[in-house]
Structure 1
Amino acid sequence: MIEPLTPLSRLVLVTGPARSGKSEWAETLAQNSGQSVIYIATSRLDSTDTEWQNRIQKHQRRRPPEWKTLEVPVELAATLQQISQPNTCILVDSLGTWLANLLEQDDEGWQQILEGLITTLNQTSGQIIFVAEETGWGVVPAYPMGRLFRDRLGILTRNIGAIANPVYLVTAGYVLNLSQLGSPLN
């Protein structure tokens, strides 16, 4: 059953592994919100990577033509602050791609970016749906950059999950509402 977004669900987090259906679920929630939708694509188009272009095109074909699309690879907090308004649903796909675009930040710089995003989310008035990848369920990456990405993404999704309601896990094509099934950590 598809749960409509209500004023109580101002922030929504949809997380899950690759190819699980998380983007499709987030798109369904946005479509059923009854509001105008702004889709924020965090990826950077690489004209030399045809496989990546095909992935982007698949996402584009699924979206209704009336949705406005913004490409925001880095300035997510500032963009959300500018466009968030009542009666608008913003879908951000995805946090992992956004993080990858900022991975060169040192720990202090990344912490400031993260805190800025959380502050912005606490001040926005529209509904925002975030899509985030789950990367920490497997083997510890063999390289420092892989471990840094995995750890930062885990911290990022935990911070957003702490203020989002509902939080969904989509895996193997099934949607679980973690806000109903689980208990948040302090």
Structure 2
Amino acid sequence: MTRHCLVLGGARSGKTAFAERLALHSGARPAYLATASVLDGEMQDRVSSHQAARGARFTTVEEPKDLSRALVRIGANHDVILVDCLTLWITNLLMDNDDVSTAVGELCATLLEFRQAKVILVSNEVGLGIVPDNAMARTFRDLAGATHQRLGEICEDVYFVAAGLPLTMKGESPASLT
């Protein structure tokens, strides 16, 4: 059975590196589904750095908003799909005034039925700090938290990464990947 996975952590916590190791360990034909929208030079530098670090180990597909359709399309040719990252995806949806709750519902429905490939979802845990001082940031934090809760329910494995070390919150321990 294909086990979907949610990997959470703070900025620069090591969550993406852990998710990449998990993906490479989980399948022979991994895909990297990137949600970043490149809006400035600094973001372009980050994207280029991530791409260089991955090298040719992954097939990279860029999709900033329609994750459900992209998963189905990519799943035909790949046995594991790493989605990085959900908080950028939520940002893209918010910036285009799309209904985030509906999109999350679609993603959850897709994952519940989707068994063509293992899906590893990476996201920033943003609810551990102070309460944001403006309405948009509070809305973003609340939507990210609600998304994580919904995905945490349906993913078989959930990890929290801090200082590059994964903590198993639900499911199988990744001890051999640390």
Q: TM-score, normalised by structure 1?
A: 0.85
Q: Which moved more, 1:145-154 or 1:54-63?
A: 54-63
The CA deviation at 1:110 is 2.5
**Cα drift, residue 81 of structure 1:** 2.2
Any conservation in 2 of the 1:41–1:94 contact (CA below 8 Å)?
Answer: yes
The alpha carbon displacement at 1:19 in A equals 0.3
Whole-angstrom CA distance in 2 between matches of 1:66 and 1:136: 32
Q: CA deviation at 1:91?
A: 0.3
Equivalents in 2 of 1:52, 1:13: separation in Å?
24
- 1:41-80 mapped onto 2 (5 Å cutoff): 41-46=34-39, 49-80=40-71
Q: How does 1:12-51 map to 2 (within 5 A)?
A: 12-46=5-39, 49-51=40-42
1:139-150 equivalences under 5 Å are 139-150=130-141
Alignment of 1:1-186 (within 5 A): 7=1, 10-46=3-39, 49-85=40-76, 88-104=79-95, 109-125=99-115, 126-179=117-170
Please list the CA deviations of residues 23-49 of structure 1 after superposition, one character each: whole Å capped at 9, or x if unmatched: 000000011113201100000122xx2
Letter matched to residue 100 of structure 1: T
Distance 1:45 1:106, change over 3 A: closer
Per-residue deviation at 1:92? 0.2
Structure 2 residue ranges without an equivalent (≥5): 173-178
Deviation digits for residues 136-166 of structure 1 (CA, Å, limit 9, x no counterpart): 1111111111001000000111111111121
Identity of aligned residues (%): 38
Q: Give the superposition deviation at 1:65.
A: 0.4
Aligned residue pair count: 171
Structure 1: gaps of 5 or more residues: 1-6, 182-186
Which contiguous aligned blocks of 4+ residues in structure 1 show a shift greater than 3 angstroms? Answer: 104-107
The 8 Å contact of residues 85 and 124 in structure 1, kept in 2 or not, is answered as no
Secondary structure at 2:141's aligned position in 1?
helix
Tell me if structure 1 keeps the 8 A contact 2:30–2:78.
no
| TM-score normalized with structure 2 length | 0.88
Give the match for residue 3 of structure 1.
Answer: none
